[in-house]
Structure 1
């Protein structure tokens, strides 16, 4: 005689999202490492913590690269912590939808 599946709730994935941190002045090597981490991770939720001091076109480039890498590998990426200067620059460049 075999038994049926256990009662109760079905299996639910309660894992936490992958968290990456974008420093205030990201270097190409740091951005490449973050993108490689995203590419290697299984598809899922990713939270990017943006340093509040991050700004300039380097940060915009880094965010765009992270967003593109995440999309290519099936991640749902969210950004938290961008300061008003970076947010304004993203709006000016038309990339404000990234945040």
Structure 2
């Protein structure tokens, strides 16, 4: 994906995904979203539909390179934790909303 995603792009994106899945037989698809310039609900819908299409085909979907704004929006609508796996080190990402890291007073420092 690159540039802003338009509503009428979504069916083509899903069809392209189906073509790739049929041709490759892959168990996992990596969608590079680093070129997506607009983080909005149309982009979120595109990600959700791609995830659904991948899941229906029995494959995983990974997003590579989401901008901080897109990552935040996916978290906000619940897609980051529930539907979308993001490639990268989980330690580099922020924890899900509502989850705070805490240290008990009796815990030893590591």
TM-score with structure 2 setting the length:
0.62
Summarize the alignment of residues 1-99 of structure 1 with structure 2, pairs less than 5 Å apart: 22-40=1-19, 41-42=21-22, 43-44=25-26, 45-50=28-33, 51-97=35-81, 98=84, 99=86
Q: Deviations over 1:54-88 (max 9, x none)?
A: 31111111100100011111222111011001111
Q: Is the 8 A contact 2:4 2:36 kept in 1?
A: no
Q: Is the 8 A contact 1:23 1:54 kept in 2?
A: no
CA distance in 1, matches of 2:36, 2:12: 20
CA distance in 2, matches of 1:59, 1:68: 14
Higher strand share: 1
Runs of 4 or more consecutive aligned structure 1 residues displaced over 4 Å after TM superposition: none
| Number of residue pairs aligned between Structure 1 and Structure 2 | 78
Unaligned runs of at least 5 residues, structure 1: 1-21
Show the counterpart of 2:92: none
TM-score with structure 1 setting the length:
0.68
Show the counterpart of 2:89: none
Unaligned runs of at least 5 residues, structure 2: 87-110
Q: Displacement of 1:52 after TM fit? A: 4.7
RMSD of Structure 2 on Structure 1 (CA)? 1.6
